[in-house]
Structures are given as C-alpha cells and as structure tokens.
Structure 1
C-alpha cells in the first residue's frame, strides 16, 4: 500500500459522502477497470493461440505453454516493483508505459518464426507490461481514492482481469477463424494503444492532484512524497513479512487461486473443449459468459468482505471451486449441456471472488505496506498459474487429455480451503473492520 493509505483509526470515521454529484473517484475506478480489462485480454489470448501456433509451426502444447508460463510468472513478479514504482513516478506514467510495452510485444509476436521469439515477445514483454498493471494497481486505486466502500471497489476492479480475459474471446476467436491469429493479435494491440491514450487523458495519481478528499473521507489526504529506492523498497517489504506466519498462508492459498484460474482455465479451457469436439468459438463463448458473471461474483465478494470474516469467505470459495473443477471432465463434450451452463455460471461467480478477502487480510496484517505485500502475494498467484500452465500443457502431451489437470487443481483447491481456516487474525480486527465499512 502506498504511504497515503488510510489507517484503521481514520477508516473508522470514514462514511459515505452526502449526495453532491458524482465523485471523481468513480471515474478513476472506471478508467482503472478499463486498463485492467485491457491487460486481462492479453492473459486470455493464449486460449486462442495454442492450437493456431501448433498448426502454423508444429510446436507442441508444452512448447507454447512455456511462453505462456514465462508471461504468467513475470506478470506476478513484476507487480511488487511496479507498485513501488507507482509510488515514485506516479500511477499514470507507469500505466501508460506498461500499455505501450504490451502493444510492442504483442505486435512483434505476429512476426515470430521460432519458439524463443515467442518467449521473448509474448512471454517477457507482454508479461512485464501486464504485470505492471495487475491486481495491485486496482488495490492502489481503492486505497488512495476511497475511504469508504473499499471492499466493493476492490471487488469491481479485481473482476476486470477475468472480464477482459474472457468476455472478448468470442469476438477474437471469430477474428482468428476468419482472418488468422495474427489479425486477432494486432486487434488487441490497437486496443492497448487506444486505452493508453485514455489513461493518459483521464487517470490521476491521487485525489490531492484535484484538490479532493478520497470518497467517504471527511478531510483531504495530502499526497505522499515520491518514495525513492523502488527495487530496494519492494525487497525490504518482502524481507520484513517473509517469515513463518500469515504471509505464507495467504500467499500459498493465492497461488492455488492462480493455478485454478489463470493457470488452467484461461490458458487451457478452449484447447480442452476442442479435444472434446467443441468449436473454439463455442468454448470462447462459455468463457465470455464466465467472465461476465465473474464481475457480479467479485463485487458480491467485495460486499461480503466489508461485512464478514474474510477467512471463511476464502475457505468457502476454494471448497466450492474445487468441487466444480472435479466435475468438469465429465461435462466436456461437443455441445453445451445444461450441466456445462451451470458450471460456467458457478465458476464465474467463484473465479476471482478470492481477491477482495485476500486484499482485506493483507490490509489487516501488513498495514501501510499492504499494497506491496499484496503485490508479492499476487506474485505467488502468478507463479502458481505459470507452473499450472506449463504442467497442464505437458500433461496434455503425455496423457492425451486434460482429465488429470482438472482433478489435480480440484485437490489443490481443497487444500487451500483448509489453509484459510488455519489463519489467525489479530484480536479485535473483525469488529474494527465491520464498523469502518472498509
């Protein structure tokens, strides 16, 4: 969290403001949603690239998955340093720069001829750019611009990654089928450039830049001075929390979240459905529905996080997610069954419902450094996703199916549910959180 983060004592006095027109914080949240949605589109694109790259170059699922895995891991490892860099250079500069790096990397991907070039362009460049505007960016907006309704706003912004990664897939799949994967990639490249322009025009670093108080705050909050030592600060924060205790429990469960969502669902659902005889456009449509429902599920999770124990919310979410994934192999087929529709809706509700309670736990345990700590927790999420992506591709090459993949991540979700219950909050935290409405 930036040094401007509201302290618990201040947050207790935070109340929604009287109606005086729309607060600028909501526009900033909308711009943030658009930016994260754009980055999320690139995390969902591998679903549409695995089979075309295999057909175009003869590369195995494992080879393509390696580049996706590098992208996913860098996505996570970049976030802590990007969060610290936003404190130093400002949110708008980092966001615009990241979007342009994504656009260049994606554009260069269209002229690759060897696997190492795919790793460099899509794995490294797109991964670094997306990681710079990951979930920690949304957490920073919620912390700086909102003193009230933080859980709700966190849920809204957290849903953007999956929304972007899934909702646009049917359109991109149709473009891929009609004009090829290169045209689809250039399309999202153009979108990234356009969103960069929007961010440059509308995004602001802090309410103090406009002479405003955060939404729900009684008094304006001074803008913090730039924080030097970006890399060292991120590493110092990690060293201060990386000891036996809550950090590893929270990070471990979030790694399972990454494995069961970005790792397998966003990278391998369409290829798995294709193996079962379903067209890529139909499978992409299911993911689009999942992404749309994900917005509702994450906002509901944010609302619940404002009111209930985040540990039990996490435990219930992981348990239900594990059950749904265990049934998935039996639901795959050439057409959409009612049971598959039910899976799509239920998994969409659970997809990123883990994010608001995870951020809440980081706030409670790590205070003023919680945004950077959550960025490290998100790094664990992406490492888990990257490993799952690579192992899922290898398992598909070895066994010829994805059945073991779905059952494996279902078991991991059960383990995560058990770990969530074992987390112990500081005494008095829940009462303070509920009274503050954060």
Structure 2
C-alpha cells in the first residue's frame, strides 16, 4: 500500500510534488531531534534531586553530548553520501529512542554518560543542520534557499515548541514520564521516516518518469566523502583565518548552548523561578532567534561581516556580564535580556558562513563544518565549566561574567581577519 501511494500518486501533476513531502519529513525530524536535545537543561535539577548527583557530574555527561553533536556534523555528510539520508536519519532516531528510553533505568553517573552523553550525542549529531543542507541540495533547485532557511529554523522551533510543554509535564509528573514521552516521539518519527523518506529524486518512480522542475539536477561526485572531510581540515589548519574563526566560534558555542542553553533554566530556578517560567523564557529566546538570524543574514549581504561579528560578540558579552545582576531581582531586566539574547543567539552564523565562503571559496562549506564542530566543543567546555563552578561556589555569578569577558575578547579577535576581498584557496 505504501509503495502504491508513493509511486502512483502524481504529486507533480497536482502542483505538489514529493520534494515538499521530503521537506516536511526532514523538518519534523530536525524538530524532534532538537526538542530531545534541548530537554537536557530541564533534567539537571530533577536528576540532582532523584539521584543525589552533583551538577558537575551531570554537566560532564551533557558536555559529551554537545561535543559529539558538533564533531559528527562533517561526518554526517559523508555517511549520507555513502548510505543515504533515509538510513542515517533512521539510525539517528533509533539511537535517540534507545538513549532516552533506557535512561529510565539508569542508576549511576556512568549510565548517564553512556546514554545521554554518548548515545543521544551520536543520535543528535547525525541529524544536524548540515544534513538538512544536503537534503535541500538534492531535492530542491528553485526554492533551495527557502528550504535551507526552514531547516535552519527547526532548531529554534524545537526549543520553542517543546521546552514549555516538557516543563509543564515535569511540573505535574515525574521525569521518567517525560522520558517515555520523548522516547515515543523518537520512535514515531523513525516510523515516519521509514514510510515517506527517500534518498534522492530517482528513488521515486513517478519522479523518474515525469520529474518536476523543482527537483535539483544534483549529481554525486566520485570522490571519497571521508577523504574530502579530512582534506578540508588538513588544508585549512595552516590558515590564520581558520583559527581566528574557530576561536571566535568556540566562544559563540560556549556562550549559547554551553552556558545559556544548559545552565539558564537551573540558574533561574535557583533564584526562585519555576521550571515552567524559566523554560518559557528560553522558548521566547527561540522566537527572537528566528528573527535575529534572518536579519543577520540580510545584513551579511550588505556590510563587512567582520564588523557584524564584532558588534554581535560585544553586545553578547555585555549582556552576559549584566545577567547575574538582573536574573533574580528584575523581571523587566530578565525580559530585556531574553529578547536581546534571542536576537543575538545565532546571529553570528550567517556572517561566519559568509566569511568561510569568501575566504576558503569552494572548500568553505566543509571548513564551516569543522568550525561548527569547534563551536560545539566550546559548548561542551562551557557546560562542564558552569557545572563545576556551581558545585564549588553554589552560584553562576563567576560563570556568566567570565563568559561575557570571553565574548568581548572574541569581538576583537574577529577584527584580525583578512579583508573579505583577500581570499584563501586551499589546495
């Protein structure tokens, strides 16, 4: 029946071809993966209360998760080219299902590290924005940019949709109930991928016979994908620009996913806020993140991207320095912080991507994949850093202020980049 539906219905004859089905399935997959990954910040305090673990142990496991999420990005492209997006996505969702479901039986920090650190880290790392870019490139031509933007918004949308809902579930039920909910979501998404996802347009009989104009004429190269991944790294590490972008993006990851994404909710709760309220604040960041990223993309086409990054990192740094003084004392202050930090959250990405493409030319996308891996390494380091300092001091004051100072340092580092007109060709 499934095969009949997929091959006999002429989506392109109805002006609705199968490319849009692929887009919806991919968006939903990235949405669920993002939602599961964002759950970690909600579970820190429930794990502390239930198991008696300190925040440093929990942060260590979550840091491994963030590191693997970034490091697997470049390799997910290679795996997709070899085995196809459908298999990679199914494996990813199976890992997310196993990691979340089995965590209901964990007893020690080692179990937490294996399940939430390694298994869920690998599962989420296989479904990153890089995978979305590959799928958009294969299935779309005319609306490729639109689809990439939709996939890019999935991370913020996942945070926006799921955090308040999950926080409400935690308020009324145990953390294990939430675990069962998200594991079922992963399993249902896996079934959805199995039924509707296809690797390329030529996997669909109806599209082979009468291809719509929307489908891209993308043709795979014969190069070894894994060889290309390491070649881009080997040739770019000799460039000063690679390290300047990497250091600044390391700070970006540390100040977003690492500090705020992981520790903002516990910090709010320490100051007397409820988990639902804190999760709602983080979801509002997700709303403004969408607007901020879109605006940053428009600005990156018109202004010097080095100066855009300078202002993004500078303003983010001042915001983090002020955060400890408003988080427990001023609702207006924390509301302003949430709006501004949301606008600035992923605003650094479009200028960084643009600089990678301007500097490294045809290797720009692969080089950005490695810089994104370093971004997630920064997230991992900041997650451990914040958890350890909290265990030692009982608060996040030093954590947030030092994070702000590093952002100010990054704002001056990006000004050391060569002019965009001076392009580096890696060979």
Q: What's the TM-score, normalizing by structure 1? A: 0.84
* CA gap 1:54/1:125 in 2 versus in 1, 3 angstroms: same
Within the alignment, does 1:56 sit opposite 2:50 as a pair? yes
Instruction: Please identify, of 84-93 and 22-31, the stretch whose mean Cα deviation from structure 2 is larger.
Output: 22-31
Superposed CA deviations along residues 76-130 of structure 1, whole A, max 9, x for unmatched, are: 1111111211122222221221111111111111110010010001100000011
Conserved? CA contact 2:358–2:421, under 8 Å:
no
Post-superposition Cα deviations, 1:156-213, rounded to whole Å, max 9, x if no partner, equal 4333223323541121111112211111122111112222333344444445664668
Aligned to 2:239: 244
| 1:224 to 2:213 alignment | no
Q: 1:259 aligns with which of 238, 254, 261?
A: 254
**Shift in CA distance, 174/308, structure 1 to aligned 2, threshold 3 Å:** same
Contact between 1:46 and 1:68, CA under 8 Å: does it hold in 2?
yes
Question: Corresponding residue for 1:407?
Answer: 401
Q: Distance in 2 between matches of 1:356 and 1:362?
A: 10
Check the 8 A contact 1:169/1:285 in 2, yes or no: yes
**1:206-228 deviations in whole A, cap 9, x for unaligned?**
4566466886x9xx524215654
Q: Distance in 1 between matches of 2:189 and 2:310?
A: 36
Q: Is the 8 A contact 2:258 2:378 kept in 1?
A: yes
Give the equivalent residue in structure 2 for 1:10.
Answer: none
Q: For residues 413 and 139 of structure 2, what CA distance do their matches in structure 1 show?
A: 32
Matches within 5 A, 1:93-172: 93-145=87-139, 153-172=147-166
Cα deviation for residue 29 of structure 1 reads 4.2
Deviation for aligned residue 1:143: 4.3
Cα drift, residue 149 of structure 1: 7.0
Q: Identify the range of structure 1 (274-283 vs 242-251) with the bigger mean alpha-carbon deviation.
A: 242-251
Q: Which residue of 2 aligns with 1:188?
A: 182
How far apart are the structure 1 equivalents of 2:247 and 2:189? 33
Matched, 1:390 2:384: yes
Q: 1:137 to 1:265 in 2, by over 3 A?
A: same
Greater RCO between the two (CA within 8 Å, min separation 6)? Answer: 1
Label 1:143 to 1:300 Cα distance change in 2 as closer, same or farther (>3 A): farther
The answer to whether residue 279 in structure 2 is matched with residue 284 in structure 1 is yes
Matching residue within 410, 417, 420 for 1:423:
417
In structure 1, stretches of 5+ residues that fail to align are: 1-19, 430-438
Give distance in 2, aligned partners of 1:116 and 1:425: 48
Task: Tell me the residue number matched to 2:297.
Answer: 302
- What is the aligned partner in structure 1 of residue 308 from structure 2? 313
- Alpha carbons of structure 1 residues 27 and 330: separation in structure 2 relative to 1, 3 Å: farther
- Report how far residue 33 of structure 1 moved: 3.0
Shift of 1:25: 5.5
Aligned partners of 2:363, 2:176: CA distance in 1, in Å? 41
- Cα pair distance change 1:318/1:373, threshold 3 Å: same
- CA 203–311 in structure 1, closer or farther in 2 if over 3 Å, else same: farther
**Displacement of 1:371 after TM fit?**
3.5
Contact 2:17 2:212 (8 Å CA) reproduced: no
* Count of residue correspondences: 405
Whole-Å separation in 2 of the counterparts to 1:99 and 1:181: 21
Is the alpha carbon distance of 1:364 and 1:21 closer, same or farther for their aligned partners in structure 2, counting shifts above 3 Å? farther
Find the residue that maps to 2:408 and give its secondary structure.
helix
**What TM-score, normalized to structure 2?**
0.86
- Where does residue 6 of structure 2 map in the other structure? none
Residues 311, 423 of structure 1: 8 Å contact kept: yes
